[in-house]
Amino acid sequence: MKIKTKIKSYINDFEPIIKQVDNSTIWFLKDSADKDLKQSVYDAHEGSYPKDYIYGTYLCILENLLNYDIENIDDIDDIRHELVDSMVDIYTYDLTEWLHSDNSNVYYLDKAINEYGCKNGFELLATAQYIAIDEVFEYVFNLLKD
């Protein structure tokens, strides 16, 4: 199966749910979703409770991959940084909202400080979010690689 066909199939395994509280959209997997996709999304949660952010980020990565000319897994690896970087919020407000959305996001702040030496606010938040998105990307990449 061609890689783009595989990606489209995985995208179709997601379904939106509208939250009545604020009319925002969250994403879940259909009951009929591919078992490997289900396992990959489950693994992306790394043992934590289900998170809207991970489902949404996973889907967004798949959708963004369709915007690139990809033939094989090596092409996906080549565009990884560009794709992940394009998904990082560009406004401090949105970055702080992301940070506030889950207490475990502080882990990514620590990682941005300790591994990347980030010091100022925007750079720190953007790098932390980049790391979080890139972690989800790794699960998408591994799913498509298999």
- For every one of its 146 residues, what pLDDT tens digit does the chain have, with 9 covering 90 and above? 599 999 999 999 999 988 888 888 889 999 999 999 999 999 999 988 888 999 999 999 999 999 999 989 999 999 999 999 999 999 999 999 999 999 989 999 999 999 999 888 899 999 999 999 999 999 999 999 97
Alpha helix stretches (DSSP H) within 68-105: 73-87, 92-100
Pairing of strands 14-18, 25-29: antiparallel
pLDDT tens digits, one per residue of 124-134: 999 999 999 99
SS3 of 3, please? helix
This prediction's pTM? 0.93
Q: Which residue has the tokens 């940070």?
A: 99
SS3 of 28, please? strand
CA–CA dist 81, 85 (Å, integer): 6
Residue 1: predicted pLDDT: 59
Could you tell me if 111 and 126 are in contact, meaning their C-beta atoms sit under 8 angstroms apart?
no
SS3 of 91, please? coil
Residue 91: predicted pLDDT: 96
Give the count of beta carbons closer than 10 Å to the beta carbon of residue 4: 14
User: Domain boundaries in the chain?
Assistant: 3-145
CA–CA dist 144, 41 (Å, integer): 12
**10 burial type by CB count under 10 A (0-12 exposed, 13-18 middle, 19+ buried):** buried
